[in-house]
Amino acid sequence: MRQDDLYINKIDWVTICIYVVLVIIGWFNIYAAVYDEQFPKSIFDLSINSGQQLLRIGAAFLIILLIMVADYRVFDNLAWILYIAFLVLLIITPFIGKEVNGQILSIGFGSFRIQPSEFAKFTTALALAKYMERPSFDLSQMKHQFQALAIIMIPIILIMLQPDTGTAMVYFAFFIMLYREGMPQRYYVLALTFIAISLLALGIENNLYLVIGVGAVILILILMGKKKLSRIISFVLLGTVIVAYSYSLDYVVSKLPEHQQNRIMVLFNPDLDPLGAGWNVTQSKIAIGSGGFLGKGYLEGTQTKFDFVPEQHTDFIFCTLGEEFGWVGSSVVIILFCALLIRLVMLAERQKNRFSRVYGYCVISILFFHFMVNIAMTIGLFPVVGIPLPFFSYGGSSLWSFTILLFIFIKLDSHRIQLLGRMG
């Protein structure tokens, strides 16, 4: 058997099929989002977003071809160089980039613009994989934990400076990969407890209830265990810290800029300000909610078409789907995403070397986070953060970066036999 046949045969076509289906559904949705019944234009018309997106989809296929024909070792070898190159781009973006709405996110010439923060996702993933590939790497060691964290934190800080909180948040998704790679479980328990207490502190209007609740839990814990003084003292201290934290959180929130405060409050009660801070969520929920079971039909949506939902072709593209295809359509897409993610977990687990597996889990982490947060925000389960829905949202940078991210992994996966040899 020739080597070429070997590698073509190893390509995971299931993943590719799901990818293609998602991209096509996404493209039809972009057309629906910008469709104007009074001046209907062809889906291929380059003067509208769907035509533009088709060009970008074409470019994405070119990128896929490039990745597939490239030597699989190039990603391993160039990991650090790419990581550093994009860090440099992130640093210079605020100086040479174009300002839109107070953010400087993209660089480029004329109409060709890219967002370095989108591409830095896969370079960071490669760097993490490269770094963690070392045989001596052990996540139970504090030193290694910090080093891995540093690789993640540098792009986060640089992106925060643009400022683009939403995209920066995405990089925290790498903790999913770190979890798989053996990061101690207690960090996650601690973090989840912390998030839960934060949500309770913000969600419950009167902190007194929280104090009573925490006090009751602590009391039960004390009574249930051994009644040693040191144990009692540590529990009381813990309770005090939690209460102090929730009060200080309220104080910090009250010092935040108003629009960020509103975003947090609207999460708990979107009807608080339906025409102001709650507008996006309210309208997005109306659009999706009005879709019903089977939806209004393709191109028949009124809420997205008539601009009731802002950012309807980018971050809120899911609204068009929800309105026109209803619960059935939404379910199909959600199931497709879940299937893709689970398939990727299976692929990652069959990798024989750590580089590929770590990279695979990085892909899973990023896609999972985007999918979860983007859809959750359109239905009011999460505050509005401006991050796109993978393969759906309009825009070149996001489509290309997700494509590159995914297909490097498919490429690596198809060479898993050779990579095993290399590991030896």
Stretch that binds other proteins, among 77-85, 102-110, 127-135, 332-340 (CB under 8 A): 332-340
Sheet strands side by side (includes 98-100): 98-100, 103-109, 112-114
What minimum distance in Å lies between the beta carbon of 363 and other proteins? 13
Binding map of other proteins across residues 342-381, x = CB under 8 A, - = no contact: x--x--xx--------------x---x--xx--xx--x-x
The one among 28, 172, 247, 308 contacting other proteins by CB under 8 A:
308
What minimum distance in Å lies between the beta carbon of 295 and other proteins? 9
In degrees and rounded to multiples of 5, residue 98 shows phi and psi of -105, 130
With the C-alpha atoms ordered 185, 189, 190, 194, is the resulting torsion angle positive or negative?
Answer: positive
99 is a site residue for other proteins (CB under 8 A): no
What minimum distance in Å lies between the beta carbon of 148 and other proteins? 16
Question: What letter would DSSP give residue 389?
Answer: P
Stretch that binds other proteins, among 87-95, 96-104, 278-286, 404-412 (CB under 8 A): 278-286
Assess contact for 63 and 56: CB atoms under 8 A.
no
138 is a site residue for other proteins (CB under 8 A): no
Assess contact for 302 and 317: CB atoms under 8 A.
no
The one among 15, 49, 330, 401 contacting other proteins by CB under 8 A:
330
User: What is the Cα–Cα distance from 318 to 389, expressed in whole angstroms?
Assistant: 8
The one among 145, 207, 261, 290 contacting other proteins by CB under 8 A:
290
Give the contacts of 292 (CB within 8 A, at least 6 positions apart): 326, 327
Residue 326 or residue 396: which is nearer to other proteins going by CB? 326
The one among 52, 115, 123, 303 contacting other proteins by CB under 8 A:
303
Query: Any long-range contacts for 274-279 (C-beta under 8 Å, 24+ apart)?
Result: 279/310
Q: Which helix (H) or strand (E) segment is 108 a member of?
A: strand 103-109
275, two tokens = 């025409």
271, two tokens = 């009807």
Residue 280 or residue 397: which is nearer to other proteins going by CB? 280
307 is a site residue for other proteins (CB under 8 A): yes
Q: Which has the closest alpha carbon to 359: 399, 418, 412, 419?
A: 412
The one among 182, 184, 215, 386 contacting other proteins by CB under 8 A:
182
What minimum distance in Å lies between the beta carbon of 64 and other proteins? 24
The one among 222, 289, 354, 386 contacting other proteins by CB under 8 A:
289
User: What is the Cα–Cα distance from 288 to 42, expressed in whole angstroms?
Assistant: 25
Q: What is the CA radius of gyration of the chain?
A: 24
Instruction: Please report, as ranges, the residues that interact with other proteins according to CB under 8 A.
Output: 36-38, 176, 179-182, 283, 285-293, 300, 302-303, 305-308, 322-323, 326-327, 330-331, 334-335, 337-338, 341-342, 345, 348-349, 364, 368, 371-372, 375-376, 379, 381
